Structure 1
């Protein structure tokens, strides 16, 4: 096992300064990400919807493959263009498992770095997130979140419970690969939020945590209860950064972080208590473990047992990038330099994606719908 040397941490230093070259490169990356995302969505998104009318399973397989190609651009940006070290530690997890991922939420871009692990396991297109509903309103990317079946929440349990339960019930087929990522803290970590969390914990006899917020247990328990029969394991993911927690534009311009450390623990689902009370207590214990792990990271500069995953292949990243850019070039040519019907198609696709995302429309298979209708009819006497 390869072991990386421990590095000293600094909360003041940036990975790189914002030079004109980095501004230009960052803007070019944004243009490429937006243009490729838009063209893939409008040309492949409706194809996935049409397949869904016949089979949800094969629709998900197609969407996972096609959009997994695009998602691989993000690890390529982080690790190869920005030269950010992504260092994995803890346990080496197997590929092709159906899992629930539980991660701490240090900053607004934590969820992007889970793609680095999923790519290495061949599960990039299968990862889904429970995320705040405002992200679904992002132009273009919100359409992608909808096509990829992310679960949007308002962070109010009375509103979120029926939405979560309905969406989770569609993920119970063991034949559909699944990586469902949950951030039980419900929001990203800040000192102000930490103080509020510690105050609430002290007043209610709960653990006082320094590096994470108290987890909200209801969403986690709902995921576990509905999916337990089809899950292989829960992955406990702990994320830490050097030298500063990044924001989205830090990633775009390659300023921060210099290193991302991701600690992974695989917990077989049978080891997690079944009752809601006990599983909530189990989650609280898990976040105490995370808190200690992050304290140790601050002191030592690394997590234990580093080097559990290798580096991404530069050649594979470049081939994937070339394929996506080539497809985008073809779609742009068809849109602007070909038949008027392609322009009409683009307009209809945009109208559908915008309305389906806003209204949360997900078609059901026609055959299954007809069978359900026939079964619901009572035979006449």
Structure 2
């Protein structure tokens, strides 16, 4: 009986925060759509300033649950001093978990750039209720993968990037070149990655997937003259480092958002390398080899992280520095969002509005993303 109660309480550690964050969608959606309508008569930069503030406020709520509440230790390596510059960047990262999206917040909040984060997203996410529309409105770019990555898709991406550049939009453009998550227990995925590298005459990678370069290449070409650097970020989670009885290391699947909220990951290791834009090849074939080289470096770093060597195990390259986050960075946004819940759930009219927004708003957003946004 006691054990079942404990199991139930532990599940609430992830279920309650998830329900709270998801439950805020209609309120924040109403705020941004309302401001979009009001700001239509003003210069676009007015909309962007408030939009970035709304986005940043919601992400601080996310940070409240995933960092302030969990007490997870963030350890930074490499060029993390670059975060003080508040520059326009392309944020390029290895991909292994849904938590990688939250790590962007962990980095951006330390740089004072939460509102600037805009994502390269797989095309199917544009139909995610309410959020899919807002990702696009905030500056996210949906990308079709594989054979669907055609010329019209490229032109649409370049038009969007050109608009960002012309409007001088403050930006952290986040891209995961692997295209899908690295899963150590899916041998078919790893085999396909290695065959791709061999077919391209490139070194085989073991702790990351071979990067697909096309979307990243467009980001670099489209943001030259606007972004100052690439932030090459490598993430490792303490929760997926499993020690065998003989001392060897077995890499487990990286912790999910639910695992993280349940306290199954005590540390996040983040290595940042700042690469100036003028040092990146313009030629497409050279860029592919350059990007693969970037992931080779990640591969070496992660091979050391998961090695049996006590000198290398459980740490990334260079000296690690613990980076605590003040509770005041996230608590005001959480309290403000709690206040948004009161009129919605405290009145009959508010509850009716809430559920109608979820249903009608989601249907309208799906229609808009399917037939209007191209």
Equivalent of residue 292 in structure 2, options 284, 301, 313: 284
Relative to 1, partners in 2 of residues 1:185 and 1:319: Cα closer, same or farther, differing over 3 Å? same
1:90-129 → structure 2 map (5 Å cutoff): 90-91=78-79, 92-93=81-82, 94-129=84-119
2:344 is the alignment partner of 1:356: no
* Per-residue deviation, residues 225-252 of structure 1 (Å, max 9, x unmatched): 111111111100001111221123323x
Change (3 A) 1:359 1:84: farther
Structure-2 separation of matches of 1:290 and 1:337? 49
Q: Across the two proteins, how many residue pairs are aligned to each other?
A: 344
Aligned 8 A contact 1:95 1:121 in 2: yes
Moved more, 166-175 or 17-26: 17-26
Find out whether 1:43 has 2:31 as its counterpart.
yes
Normalising by the residue count of structure 1, what TM-score does the alignment of the two structures yield? Answer: 0.81
SS at match of 1:231: coil
Structure 1: how far apart are the matches of 2:297 and 2:271? 12
**Which moves more between the two structures, 102-111 or 230-239?**
102-111
Match of residue 62, structure 1, among 50, 69, 75: 50
Whether 1:315 and 2:328 are equivalent positions in the alignment is yes
1:337 positional shift: 5.4
User: Are 2:257 and 1:248 aligned?
Assistant: yes
Counterpart residue number, 2:339 = 326
Distance 2:286 2:227 in 1: 19
Aligned residue number for residue 149 of structure 2: 157
Q: Deviation of residue 282 (structure 1)? A: 1.5
TM-score by length of 2: 0.83
Listed as ranges, the gaps of 5+ residues in structure 2 are 241-253, 308-312
Q: Which has the higher contact order (CA 8 A, sep 6+)?
A: 1
Deviation by residue 1:308-352 (Cα, 9 ceiling, x = unmatched) = 5731111332222101211332455577259x9999999886665
Are 2:207 and 1:211 equivalent residues in the alignment? yes
Aligned equivalent of 1:375: none
Question: Aligned-pair distance for 1:261?
Answer: 1.0
Give the conservation status (yes or no) of the 8 Å contact 1:104–1:185.
Answer: yes
Extract unaligned runs of 5+ from structure 1. Answer: 1-16, 363-381
Q: Which residue of 1 aligns with 2:74?
A: 86
For the pair 1:184 / 2:177, whether they are aligned, the reply is yes
Give the 3 Å change call, closer, same or farther, for CA 360–90 of structure 1 in structure 2.
farther
Measure, in 2, the Cα distance between the counterparts of 1:66 and 1:344: 22
Q: CA deviation at 1:202?
A: 2.5
Query: In structure 2, the residue corresponding to 1:243 is in which secondary structure?
Result: helix
- Is 1:236 matched with 2:248? no
Bigger shift: residues 282-291 or 38-47: 38-47
Structure 2 distance, partners of 1:341, 1:90, is 48
Shift of 1:270: 1.1
Contact in 2 for aligned 1:95/1:122 (Cα 8 Å): no
In the other structure, the counterpart of 2:301 is 293
Q: How far apart are 1:105 and its partner, in Å?
A: 0.8
Q: Quick one: which of 304, 309, 313 aligns to 2:317?
A: 304
- Shift in CA distance, 266/230, structure 1 to aligned 2, threshold 3 Å: same
Using a 3 Å threshold, how does the CA distance of structure 1 residues 154 and 344 change in structure 2: closer, same or farther?
closer
List per-residue Cα deviations over 1:247-280 (Å, max 9, x = no partner): 23323x4243222111101111111122222222
**1:52, distance to aligned residue in structure 2 (A):** 4.5
